[in-house]
Amino acid sequence: MRTIERYITRELTMPFIVVILILVGLFASFSSARFLAGAVTETLGLAALFKLVMLKTLIALEVLIPVALYIAIISGLGRLNKDQEINILYASGISGKRIVFIVLMMTIPVAIISGMLSSYVRPWAYAENYILDAQAEAELNTNRFQAGRFYGSERSGRVVYVQDKDEANKKMSNIFHYIKTSEASEIIFAKEALQVQPTREERPAIVLTKGYLYQLSHEAFKDDMIQFDQLTYFTDSELALRYRRKAAPTRTLWESEDPWELAELQWRISRPVATILLALIAVAFIQSTPRQDKATRTYLLAATVFAVYYNLSGLAKNWVEQGVVNTTIGVWWLYAAMFILLVLYALKPGHKLLSFR
């Protein structure tokens, strides 16, 4: 009996590993191409590019793992069914319920991993990702500048000039900075500037030393001049200042009553449930009386079902955020509906693995 269990587990594990590696490779390649097209390497450097790709991939794993498991179960059990091995297992005294149990024993650890990724790894990855995004978006990022050149931005009305630059220490010397707003123009001369590497709790900033700040008002007699020994200039955009609920620790979300944060919390803790239900849906596509001409249609139907689920899961989260559904019902109506449909399918007579009969 244990030999058969190990055999079925192996037939599901191998395609799962292959599919997850393919999905991760494709996602990482797509992310790398997008960052290269956005000139991230020029802004933050090659090391930051690799870190961004790693973070994006970690964030995506909570979705890629259930997808890989879903495909692996359909592929693995489909092959066993196609080669009549499931019928041989039936003849050997292995029931459909036993096969489903073996699938669940493989699925539960994967579901736990998916939940841990969603609840702990994903928030950390988002927090690190936001730091790099803020640095990439910041117009005053030292990686953008080369010595002896002027840099301007039509969007913000900013002009920057750096006379000398130390690439190794992220230091600049003899800096000119000009920015024009609707109320005033601001000019800064500084002897030195140092790019500060922020932590997750800090905002990106440049520390300017030994300089002058001129604020020239568009109205008469309101100009100011400040001499400073040290001035901290925050470089993050307005977008980077907004609260990032996706990066909030799970324990913080538990204490919140805000619909947006509760939607994020429910999304995280529902990942294990979603993984198990998707695995059972995958089992439901396997008939114990194989038909070769239906294989292609089965895969197309399975892809359609997953696409419908994925869109509904996003819709369920949005409804909680927008107050369309109260937080008590939350996203759980979708998984309750999936469970009910699986029970109804299992009660229906027929030659299938997922059956109560």
Lowest mean pLDDT, pick from 226-230, 242-246, 349-353: 242-246
| pLDDT mean over 148-155 | 72
| pLDDT mean over 164-178 | 82
Q: Is the pLDDT of residue 243 over 50?
A: no
Where does residue 324 rank: exposed (0-12), middle (13-18), buried (19+ CB within 10 A)? exposed
- If one compares 182 and 285, the residue with the highest pLDDT of the two is 285
Q: Is the pLDDT of residue 161 over 80?
A: yes
Tell me the H-state helices in the chain: 2-37, 40-44, 46-82, 85-91, 96-116, 122-137, 238-241, 250-254, 259-269, 271-284, 295-322, 332-347
Q: Which two tokens stand for residue 316?
A: 């369920």
- If one compares 42 and 133, the residue with the highest pLDDT of the two is 133
- Write down the pLDDT at residue 19: 96
| pLDDT mean over 46-58 | 86
Q: In what order do the strands lie in the sheet with 224-234?
A: 149-153, 158-166, 171-180, 184-196, 205-217, 224-234
State the DSSP H helix or E strand holding residue 175, giving kind and residue range, or none if neither. strand 171-180
How does residue 25 score in pLDDT terms, banded at 50, 70 and 90? very high
The residue ranges of every structural domain in the chain are 2-137+243-347, 142-235
- Write down the pLDDT at residue 258: 87
Q: Which two tokens stand for residue 350?
A: 């027929």
Residues 6+ apart with CB under 8 A from 341: none
pTM comes to: 0.74
Q: Is the pLDDT of residue 249 over 80?
A: yes
Q: Which two tokens stand for residue 57?
A: 């991939």
How does residue 242 score in pLDDT terms, banded at 50, 70 and 90? very low
First to last CA, the chain: 22
- Write down the pLDDT at residue 178: 86
| pLDDT mean over 208-225 | 81
Residue pLDDT, tens place only, 84-135: 888 888 887 788 888 889 999 999 999 999 999 999 999 999 888 877 776 6
**Residue 75 half-sphere exposure toward CB, CA atoms < 13 A:** 17
Where does residue 234 rank: exposed (0-12), middle (13-18), buried (19+ CB within 10 A)? middle
- CB 193 within 8 Å of CB 216: no
Q: Which is nearest to 235 in space by CA: 214, 205, 279?
A: 205
Residue type for position 236:
D
